[in-house]
Structure 1
């Protein structure tokens, strides 16, 4: 049975052939998903099933189901969208940083909401990493081939708040282990649509990339796909149409708070990706509608701020705790909502 891995552009340039095989005459009849599980030993059954369901696996150029039993001579191709290319070099840029704390091992930065953390598709420069390279020169980088100096975690563009940067190899390994073990403390403040029924709650729902749009994270209730994700939340202030909540992350999945809050029916205010950029609570009379539109202009992003961060210092072995004020745009937004609900 011939197998290979190469660039695949016979039909669609944007697809990358991750794997292909030609079924030989002596192949024992079996389901497609089981056959692929034998040959793709580094891929889980869930990933294989997901690829088949998303039509990324084709037999003789045709979409088939998992139950299909390949025949001798069939050609099976697994083709997925090309992964975005990491830059081979990070150019230093003189971008100001809001440094909260610094010593020989770690650096704490309060990130502006509009800053992207690391270079990637559509954001190759102007990132936090470009600024770090300029201000600090050689920083340790990740071991997976990506050039992301000092980074052990990240927060989204459109989200403001605290990040810890490793300045030494030892600090990076020590901090990365803490994030992997979920022993760090991360608290976010978010303005959400509506008022949750309970003052406190825990959202335990697996998260994974959407099969329709990989820029979006979705909850997978059946548990067959996705990774464990746990968010603890507490309502700090109720304002009839919106609420200020505190969220503590037990895990750190992509868009975790944003996806979890949408899942329980309370998307983040202003979050265009998860439906929070339109009026979801309240009447649509003209004055209220104009008020909300003005609020969207004050904060044209998701209302989310990484407020506090705690971890064990890699060198001192002491617990370090940092807190930050809400950014001006989010503070102004909260004041406007508080004033509005007092007069309606």
Structure 2
């Protein structure tokens, strides 16, 4: 569903889409983040999903003061998909613990520029983050400051040179999927930072900070922070995915 909040200006001239709420259940609220929108605000007055959700809660619950919102995880700005927030600190701590313990099942869908070979498997790398450049590199094991990154993948459809890939993420490193696939010559469509060729079927101007890439956080399976029952959250594909020519196969 979408909230009743109108679209607003992001401060950079871009229009911010309405909230797409996937589930609001006690202290948990899950949304489908659009690509190009920050998950969490930064001190430059840029629009963020966090800020829009706070505004939504403030209006829905008629809160006169500040609104608390816990942010247990994030998505990269050009990535779309499921993001979960918590309305109180206890729920935030419980959700954050699930992410730290890797007990949450995280499934992504990606459109890549070339078909991965083999068509399924496990990718294990050591990644080194350059925070000043907002960039990640694959390095040799034992490199100071590096962290292990692990994911499973399976090609589920092929169209021309491109492939639709389902990914189970076992660690949550910065830009993990993007750098692991890009380093193998399978860059995600639109992701110039990690090797993609700049082609845009819709003819949009390309902006490396906000332009959408073919990566979508499709599904999260986690425990409710109060009841502890399993919750399965799925985010519909963005409209621009129709340009890629892929749909989610039945039965996934």
Q: TM-score range by the shorter chain?
A: 0.7 to 0.9
Map 1:113-192 to 2 at 5 A.
113-120=35-42, 123-137=44-58, 138-140=66-68, 149-192=69-112
Look at both structures and tell me which one has the larger radius of gyration over its CA atoms.
1
RMSD: 2.3
* Structure 2: stretches of 5+ with no match in the other structure: 1-15, 59-65, 248-252
How far residue 261 of structure 1 moved from its aligned partner, in angstroms, is 0.5
Mapped pair 1:260 → 2:206 = no
Identify the residue that residue 62 of structure 2 maps to in structure 1: none
Identify the residue that residue 109 of structure 1 maps to in structure 2: 31
Identify the residue that residue 212 of structure 2 maps to in structure 1: 301
Map 1:1-12 to 2 at 5 A.
none
> How many residue pairs align between the two structures?
220
Q: Distance in 2 between matches of 1:203 and 1:155?
A: 20
Residue 83 of structure 2 aligns to a residue whose secondary structure is strand
Identify the residue that residue 67 of structure 1 maps to in structure 2: none
CA 1:139–1:293 in 2, change beyond 3 Å: closer, same or farther?
Answer: closer
Residue 196 of structure 1 aligns to a residue whose secondary structure is coil
Q: Distance in 2 between matches of 1:260 and 1:97?
A: 31
* Structure 1: stretches of 5+ with no match in the other structure: 1-93, 141-148, 279-291, 337-344
Identify the structure with the greater helix proportion.
Answer: 1
Q: Distance in 2 between matches of 1:296 and 1:312?
A: 42
TM norm structure 2: 0.80
| Contact 1:162–1:308, Cα closer than 8 Å, also in 2 | yes
Identify the residue that residue 311 of structure 1 maps to in structure 2: 222
CA 1:262–1:222 in 2, change beyond 3 Å: closer, same or farther?
Answer: same
- Can you list the C-alpha shifts for 1:12-54, whole angstroms capped at 9, x where unaligned? xxxxxxxxxxxxxxxxxxxxxxxxxxxxxxxxxxxxxxxxxxx
How far residue 134 of structure 1 moved from its aligned partner, in angstroms, is 1.2
How far residue 265 of structure 1 moved from its aligned partner, in angstroms, is 1.6
